[in-house]
Amino acid sequence: MSRSNLARLLVSCPDREGIVAALANALADSGANITSSDQFSSDPLGGSFSLRMEFYVPEPETRIPLLEQRLGEIAEKLDLEYKLVDAHVRKRVAIFVSKYDHCLIDLLGRWHRGDLEMDIVMVVSNHPDLAVEAARFGVPYHHIPVTKESKPQAEAAQLELLQKHGGADLVVMARYMQVLSADFLANVGAPVINIHHSFLPAFAGADPYKRAHHRGVKLIGATAHYATEDLDEGPIIEQDVVRVSHREDAIALERIGADVERLVLARAVERHLQDRVLLQGHRTIVF
């Protein structure tokens, strides 16, 4: 497989002296030119270190293997976890959705305009309602009904469908109103991003707009996070809020909040596609 000239290096490790120097020397010795670099230390004494670099490398077919050898040596010496990514390889994305269309249509539109550099391999839904929207963009749509009794069989069918179509690098829950099981998350082979229609950790779970209206909140928001088996408790990638008042009822809050949901989910997906999100325990470092 041929490589492109632009690559990314993602690093996580315990913080200590000499990490950046070792990595920079390895890149320089491999003929690479660093074009951007971001790093974060939680504490210079005993903390954790995260780094994202983009770099240009001539003759990647010969230079990248040399770089990988050097990085392996550094990783062993500095207790370092790293990942090299070809920046021009588009990630394969599957979108899961139920009946709410606003996040799905927004993602399809951004993808169609070239704002999100990804390949949408399919849309999967537990309802048939949005097949026409996927068809407008030429994206395959698969309806797999889900009930409480049939959920294990439905998730098995979803996993089989993904495997049949070559898998996905990312699954996006664009208001997919089902809780994915631990078995599904363990076997899907890709991160899963969910959009929740509240500013977590407030109003986790069902009907957040009704509950927000009942409490008389003055801000409503949305949260994009990686899905885990614990409902709405996965590592947070992106959040935003909008101001509201006592004049809005729950229906108005839902309409206003839909705009925030679209924007927050699109930002989170974009950051993931660009390899800007690094996990640090239950937190994310977003460069």
Q: Are 280 and 13 in contact (CB under 8 A)?
A: no
In degrees, to the nearest 5, what angle opens at C-alpha 109 toward C-alphas 229 and 141? 60
Six token digits for residue 32: 């690479």
In the set 29, 101, 106, 232, the catalytic residue is 232
Max Cα separation, the chain?
64
Active site residue 275: no
Nearby residues of 10 by Cβ (< 8 Å), 6 or more positions away: 51, 52, 82, 83, 84, 85, 275, 278
Verify cis geometry, omega within 30 degrees of 0, for the bond prior to 65.
no
Q: Are 85 and 57 in contact (CB under 8 A)?
A: no
- Rounded Cα distance, 213 and 226, in Å: 26
Nearby residues of 70 by Cβ (< 8 Å), 6 or more positions away: 26, 29, 30
The residues that are catalytic are 232
